[in-house]
Amino acid sequence: MNKNLLNPLISIITVVLNDEKNIENTIRSVIDQEHKNIQYILVDGGSRDLTLEIAKKYKDFINVLVTEKDQGIYDAFNKGLKLAKGDLIGFVNSGDTLTKKSLKYLCSYYNKYESADFFFGAVKKHWGVLHGYKRWKIFYTWGFYSSHSTGFFIKKEAAKVLGDYNLKYKYSADYDYFYRMIVHHKMKGVSSTKNELFGVFQRGGYSSKVKFFDHLVECTRIRLDNKQNKFMILITIIIKFIFNHKRL
């Protein structure tokens, strides 16, 4: 059997900007993995606090360290993707953490499902554990998967086909990435069980700071740009408004 199949190289990309409070926990969660065949890439957007000093303490474990101004989180993602050499590629944003067995769980699915292009692992958020992957839901809601950070891993070959995250979208370029991946390219995905926890998503991150209306407008634009049925888009907008009104 192919050695890479048994022990794949996994590229982990961490993007960060001025997060001296959380970066160390994120780094340690990556380097403390039971699976050791890792290429660790840290992309810093030009931090002015102690983030880089903390990161440099782990220079023996960080394979690539980029520090320069960027055009936002998705530009940083793209920089990381271009540097990734692994058989599998995943993102762990600063503040989020992997569980010690996360990459072992990933490898077991990678070995078992050779035809899969991407994998979604269970992720703990402040309200509970998100798990599973329901492809059909992507046409109605973006809540069809667990999490981008700590929960999403893609094969290198599939990532090359998809290309970059679209910088046209400021808040939710990952939704566009997933739509292209699942709907246009018809790539195959597998999810872990609820008990196979890949990571912990920290509350208060980038996505949580986006205003409801700004998020709704961009999500609608993503669906329109991807030529989704306009009637279905209208239905999703109405449902979103109703849900948000009830929550308020």
**Per residue in 118-135, pLDDT tens?**
999 999 998 899 999 999
Question: Would residue 187 be called left, alpha or beta, if left means φ above 0 and alpha means ψ between -120 and 50 degrees?
Answer: beta
pTM of the predicted model as reported, rounded to 2 decimal places: 0.92
Mean pLDDT of 225-238: 85
- d(CA 81, CA 29) in angstroms, rounded, equals 20
- CATH 3.90.550.10 describes domain 3-204: yes
Burial zone of 208 (CB within 10 Å; 0-12 exposed, 13-18 middle, 19+ buried): exposed
Which among 95, 120, 105 is positioned nearest to 22, based on CA atoms?
A: 95
Which two three-digit tokens encode residue 130?
């998100």
Q: Which residues contact 159 (CB under 8 A, 6 or more apart)?
A: 81, 84, 89
Q: In this structure, what DSSP letter does residue 100 have?
A: T
- d(CA 213, CA 223) in angstroms, rounded, equals 15
- d(CA 61, CA 77) in angstroms, rounded, equals 20
Torsion of CA 205, 65, 35, 150, to 10 degrees: 20
- Residue 3 scores a pLDDT above 90: no
Cβ proximity of 26 and 104 under 8 Å: no
Q: Which residues contact 138 (CB under 8 A, 6 or more apart)?
A: 144, 178, 179, 182, 183
Mean pLDDT of 178-194: 98
The confidence score (pLDDT) of residue 233 equals 81
Q: Report the run of H or E that residue 243 belongs to, with start and end.
A: helix 230-247
Which two three-digit tokens encode residue 225?
């740009």
156-180 pLDDT tens trace: 999 999 999 999 999 999 999 999 9
The confidence score (pLDDT) of residue 58 equals 98
- d(CA 119, CA 147) in angstroms, rounded, equals 11
Q: Considering the chain, what percentage of its residues have pLDDT values greater than 90?
A: 82
- Residue 207 scores a pLDDT above 60: no
Mean pLDDT of 178-204: 96
CA geometry: angle 240, 243, 248, nearest 5 deg: 120
- Residue 237 scores a pLDDT above 80: no
Instruction: Count how many residues are written for the chain.
Output: 248
| Of 228 and 236, more confident | 228
